[in-house]
Amino acid sequence: MAALRQGLQTLQADALFILGDLVEAWVGDDALELPWAQELAQVLRACGQRMPLYFQHGNRDFLLGGHMAQACGMQLLAEVCRLEACRQRVVLVHGDEQCLDDSAYQAFRAQVRQANWQQSFLSQPLPQRLALARQMREASRKAHGGVESYGDLDPAACQQLLILHHAQTLLHGHTHRPGQHALANGQRLVLSDWDFEHAQRGEWLLLEPSGWRRQAL
């Protein structure tokens, strides 16, 4: 939290886009009663008073709703969003939906994005939801091991997004492997996460008139 606070206080930008996985697991907006969530909301709200702040759901925080967004001063984005800035067209996604090779995850994703599943999950007491989230995160860590074992986005799906939105760049997170990849009709840029236990973490990706630039904290 200290790194996020410091980074937001020193960030100079016209707007900030958070492309999901803001937290390890978000189990419903009533989690805002937890001290760490209140601190997170305060840190983001302070940033939102200086610049527009946008949030796109990730696989770890797809249950983040309007109440939490309002508390953080964030505007919610669609799962696929086109940004036009600095004479560029950019498609913004979290990235998990395009990891087509991971059939088990895609089946899980389809289940938890259903309204009935979410209603059933959110009807459980907050402590029970938090315990379930911890179990699911631990199971995911054991299944994936290091970040190198995470699935990657399907190139054809990425290219199709660029064609559909008449864009040159696809920007996403999710894979925990920051980088730049050429596509047949453009490029794919991968955001850094803020896991400081690994190398090349804790970066902003800035879009400037001169192009893209990574900036470390």
pLDDT, tens digit (0-9, with 9 covering 90-100), for 57-109: 999 999 999 999 999 999 999 999 999 999 999 999 999 999 999 999 999 99
pTM, to two decimals: 0.92
Angle at the Cα of 25 from the Cα atoms of 32 and 79, rounded to 5 degrees = 95
Task: Work out whether strand 203-208 and strand 186-190 pair parallel, antiparallel, or are unpaired.
Answer: unpaired
Binding residue per annotation — 144?
no
Q: Residue 6 carries which side chain, given as an amino acid letter?
A: Q
In angstroms, the CA 213 to CA 157 distance is 25
In angstroms, the CA 161 to CA 172 distance is 12
Q: pLDDT-derived band of residue 199, with 50, 70 and 90 as boundaries?
A: low
Binding residue per annotation — 140?
yes
- State the Rg of the chain over Cα: 17
Percent of the chain with pLDDT over 70: 94
Of 7 and 31, the one with more pLDDT: 31
Binding residue per annotation — 59?
yes
Task: Work out whether strand 75-76 and strand 81-85 pair parallel, antiparallel, or are unpaired.
Answer: unpaired
Q: Contact at 8 Å (CB) between 202 and 216?
A: yes
Binding residue per annotation — 174?
yes
Binding residue per annotation — 198?
no
pLDDT, tens digit (0-9, with 9 covering 90-100), for 134-176: 998 888 777 665 555 568 999 999 999 999 999 999 999 999 8
C-alpha distances in Å from residue 181, one per residue of 100, 184, 197? 17, 10, 24
DSSP secondary structure of 180-213: EEEETTEEEEE-----TTSSS-SEEEEEETTEEE
Q: pLDDT-derived band of residue 197, with 50, 70 and 90 as boundaries?
A: low
Binding residue per annotation — 94?
yes
Binding residue per annotation — 57?
no
pLDDT, tens digit (0-9, with 9 covering 90-100), for 53-70: 999 999 999 999 999 999
CATH numbers and ranges of domains, the chain: 2-216 (3.60.21.10)
Write the Ramachandran bin of 172: left for phi over 0, alpha for psi from -120 to 50, otherwise beta: beta
Q: Residue 14 carries which side chain, given as an amino acid letter?
A: D
**Mean of per-residue pLDDT scores for the chain:** 92
* Residue 37: count of CB within 10 angstroms of its CB: 18
